[in-house]
A and B are shown apart, each in its own frame.
Chain A
Amino acid sequence: ETGVTQTPRHLVMGMTNKKSLKCEQHLGHNAMYWYKQSAKKPLELMFVYNFKEQTENNSVPSRFSPECPNSSHLFLHLHTLQPEDSALYLCASSRSSGGSPLHFGNGTRLTVT
């Protein structure tokens, strides 16, 4: 149990589908993040939310749409994805002070067919 729960763990979707990834944290943190981990590539930061406000969008294509309704929940809405978007999508949370360590979930393994 990491304190950060991601669902689903695995997802297969076609390029015309719409799906959502969910992340929930029970650590009382105020900052939440989406990272992408493609095969044989380092983790890449996608989005940062602090107190429900988006503070970072790392040039992510608009087919990825994040939503943060409160400090405990984070969603990543997916639509018209490409096969190259297949990856492990990781959610993390932290306190909002600059040096606080990030706590990661175990990710959603996404396959786009």
Chain B
Amino acid sequence: DAKTTQPPSMDCAEGRAANLPCNHSTISGNEYVYWYRQIHSQGPQYIIHGLKNNETNEMASLIITEDRKSSTLILPHATLRDTAVYYCIVRVVAGGTSYGKLTFGQGTILTVHP
């Protein structure tokens, strides 16, 4: 799976949008971009994933650049409970034995402050 690069930490004011960048310049055509987050003392939580189109769900939006070399996770109205480590992962989803092979990096520590 392709390697991703994320800033080690970011701050955001409560109620503002949090924009978390991820660079995946070596991504292949059959690799999706996944975002997970891990709140202290809990397991990772799936947020969203996409291939090349922008995606939105009840938690966040995912913006993928046209060349797919980078993406941004957007939390539209950050709350204190969004303070967590956010992981950007690229992953082949061609089936077979690829499932489960999520390769986690160090992620971005997002701190939402009042």
A residues adjacent to B (C-beta < 8 A): 2, 4, 31, 33, 42-43, 45, 48, 50, 55-56, 90, 92, 94, 96-107
Contact = CB atoms under 8 A, between A and B. Distances in A.
A97 B92 CA distance: 12
Of A33, A96, A99, most B-chain CB atoms within 10 Å = A99
A62 B50 CA distance: 37
B106 A100 contact: no
B41 A106 contact: yes
B95 A97 contact: yes
Contacts, number: 66
Chain B at the A interface: SS class: loop
Interface string B78-114: 0000000000000111111111111111100000000
Of A4, A42, A43, A94, most B-chain CB atoms within 10 Å = A43
Interface of B: 32, 34, 41-46, 49, 91-106
A94 B44 contact: no
Of B41, B43, B91, B100, most A-chain CB atoms within 10 Å = B100
Contacts of A105: 43
A1 to B, nearest CB: 12
Contacts of B106: 42
A56 B34 contact: no
28 contacts: A31-B99, A33-B100, A42-B103, A42-B104, A43-B44, A43-B104, A45-B100, A48-B97, A48-B101, A50-B99, A56-B97, A90-B43, A90-B44, A92-B43, A92-B44, A94-B99, A96-B99, A98-B94, A98-B98, A100-B99, A101-B49, A102-B46, A104-B44, A106-B41, A106-B42, A106-B43, A107-B42, A107-B43
